[in-house]
Chains A and B, each alone.
Chain A
Amino acid sequence: MSNKILGIIVGLILIFSSILVIRVLTNDSEDTDFSQNQDYSPDDLLSEIDESLLDENGEVEIGEMI
């Protein structure tokens, strides 16, 4: 009986720690999607440059009155 309970407890500990480890690893991979060692094409760089510039006709939307 006590072996069974012990087994359940160990099982639970394993499940919880796996969830936590997976969670931490997923967070890390989300934050580091850009790596220094990767090669970038001219298009990649131009698109990055484009993103740093503002659209001259850009607007702040607050909705329509009608």
Chain B
Amino acid sequence: MKKMLNILIVLILSSSMLPLAFADESGNTSNDIEIDAETQQQTEIMNCSVGAEIRLLQLEKAITKNIIKGNETVSVLKDLDYNATELEAILAELEFLLWNVQEADPNATDAVQVFVDLKSDAKELTEEFKDTLKAMLDDKTLEGLRERIRLMTCEQVQNLTKKIENRIRTYNRNQLHRLYGFLGDLNNSFLEGYETGNITKEQVKSQIGKIVNNMTKEKRNQIFSELKMYRIRTRIKSTVCVENATHNFTVRKQLRIQNRLQYSKNAQSPEDSQVRSEMQHRMENRLNDMGSSGSGSGNNGNSGSGSGNGKQNGGGGKQ
């Protein structure tokens, strides 16, 4: 009877281990984060430097657009005699972030981590701006402002758009070069035409469609398998990079804020002293919150942005 009882206890203990079989293997700690599916998918092209450059430029464009819209909003609020210091402080932080993105190196080994970190900062600051504004204005005024800035653009954004389009064409050209290698029908002048913008993506797809339709079943299956295998390999590489980017996320974030705070204290920034002190106050509050929650205290060796370019931790450069 005693033996049976022992076996029963062992079984109960074993069954308590069962949830481990279902557990997520990532072993997340309080310093780590879950990265959303959209960001994960965006990092899939970052295995090559052109892909990394595209994502960093797209992030730069998104932040630039938001800064322009934010500045216009602040200007309208000031005309209406609102105190917009808090909004200006958020915009000043977004400017720091923009410099960090501009300085990020797409060739660095930690480019994915830098992208994930800076995109997360950009989303957070945008959300803060939105929430702060929402607390200041009623729905009708907000709608009026939204309409006013909806189609706002500027030369800076247009230049970025052109630059991104060019880089995407280069990326697609490289993909097509590999694909034509599988098809066994390489036409370099056609590819160059696409890269320079003389041939559209639709024209390229239509030409490939003709080749595919005249292909034998075996050849089609073979190319499909090659493409699929390539995509799986790329996805695995990207998953590893994203997995690495999730570790010590909070520690890196704390370090970024510390560096931006330090930079804002040292640099002769263009914004007025009230905005700068509000910005520093916000950063200090966030650092205190992170410190008190204990999430930033466990610096286990991978502090900062990692070993690649290390630039994102800098205050971001314009002296």
Contact = CB atoms under 8 A, between A and B. Distances in A.
Contacts of B168: 54-56, 58
Interface in B141-185: 142, 145-146, 149, 165, 168-169, 171-172, 175-176, 179
Given A40-B221, A48-B228, A62-B66, A56 B165 contact: yes
Nearest to B60: A60
A64 interface: yes
Contacts of B169: 56
B240 interface: no
Contacts of B228: 34, 48
Contact of A49 (B7, B145, B208): B208
Contacts of A41: 220
B15 A16 contact: yes
Interface string A23-66: 10000000000101011111011101111111111111111111
Q: Is the interface of B mostly helix, strand, loop or mixed?
A: helix
Interface string B47-63: 00000001100110111
Interface residues of A, number: 40
Contacts of B230: 52
A59 B175 contact: no
Q: Sort chain B's interface into a size bin.
A: 35 or more
Contacts of A64: 66, 126, 130, 146
Contacts of A54: 45, 54, 168, 171-172
A58 to B, nearest CB: 7
Interface in B6-47: 7-8, 11, 14-15, 18, 21-22, 38, 42, 45
A2 B7 CA distance: 12
Interface-central residue, B4, B145, B231, by most chain A CB under 10 Å? B4
Contacts of A53: 172, 175-176, 201
A65 B137 CA distance: 13
Contacts of A48: 224, 227-228, 231
Given A49-B205, A65-B66, 18 more contacts: A2-B4, A13-B11, A20-B21, A38-B221, A46-B209, A48-B227, A48-B228, A50-B205, A53-B172, A54-B171, A59-B61, A61-B62, A62-B122, A63-B123, A64-B130, A65-B126, A65-B149, A66-B146
Q: Which 9 A-B pairs have the closest CB atoms?
A: A60-B58, A62-B122, A63-B126, A40-B224, A62-B62, A66-B146, A42-B212, A65-B69, A53-B172
Interface of A: 1-2, 5-6, 9, 12-13, 16, 19-20, 23, 34, 36, 38-42, 44-46, 48-66
5 contacts: A1-B1, A40-B221, A42-B215, A49-B205, A56-B201
